[in-house]
Amino acid sequence: MNVKRRTWEILEIGNERDPASRYFDGFIFGLILLNVAAFILGTVPAVDEKAGFWLHLFEIISIAVFTVEYLGRLWSCGVLEKYRHPVTGRLRFMATPLALVDLVAILPFYLAFLGIDLRFLRILRIIRILRIAKLSRYLSSLILFIDVVRNRKEELIMTTTVLVMLLIVSSSMMYYAEHDTQPEAFSSIPATMWWAVATLTTVGYGDIYPVTALGKLFGSVVAVIGIGLFALPTAILGSGFIEEINKRKEKRTCPHCGKKLEE
């Protein structure tokens, strides 16, 4: 049981005062980054032609390490009461979000032997960094962000609803204004939504644009409205952060003398 608990402490908890846990986290962190880099470089034909064998060998070694790590977590999670049952406890642990990320990181390699090519999912290994990035360091910031979104959810939902409605309306109007003139670019309302998204976000790629007078008029109106609407979520979140930070400052100071309270 001591071995199991020690394994769990090294693999899962990530205690900075524990050298073994710290070194293991650093090793996995570096291995994840190298895997993502190898995956990206492997898509370059020249690199794949010259170093394809070494990239594949590195892939095999990495998968072996990630597999041992995953199995180690699965075995040692039984030290926690909620995962103690040998079957349902392990299944409950496997269903946790981070455990699913770990599984997705190694599963494509083994599925390839069954003729199922999911190698592009290897890029999801970078998500594993969230496990070892010591989120506890930023826990207060995460809680602040969650509190702001929770407190402003009604405003954010309303703004999102208006944006979706504007996207549908502008796409429909532009489709009927430009379809006859540009049937390939504005072939359908869903296809026209690409133009609407690029215009509403003020990106304006220029790959699709109106050429008729009515289409240009609609496009101008949508572009101007988009500037204002997309600024709303930023303003809502910004004011929410200021309000929440002020609340926390008030809690940390004495309401009578204004001095900082000891935590």
256 in any annotated domain: no
Q: How many domains does the chain have?
A: 2
The confidence band for 64, taking pLDDT boundaries of 50, 70 and 90, is very high
pLDDT for residue 192 is more than 80? yes
Greatest mean pLDDT among 24-28, 99-103, 193-197, 257-261:
193-197
The whole-number pLDDT of residue 151 equals 87
Lowest mean pLDDT among 55-69, 128-142, 185-199: 128-142
Beta bridge partners of 253: 260
> Do 69 and 101 share a domain, yes or no?
yes
* Boundaries of domain holding 208: 142-251
Lowest mean pLDDT among 14-18, 168-172, 243-247: 14-18
Q: What is the pTM of this model?
A: 0.57
176 in any annotated domain: yes
The confidence band for 261, taking pLDDT boundaries of 50, 70 and 90, is low
Q: Summarize the confidence of residues 98-124 as an average pLDDT.
A: 73
Token pair recorded at residue 51? 């170093």
Question: Contact, 197 vs 163, CB < 8 A?
Answer: no
Distance CA 203, CA 186 (A): 18
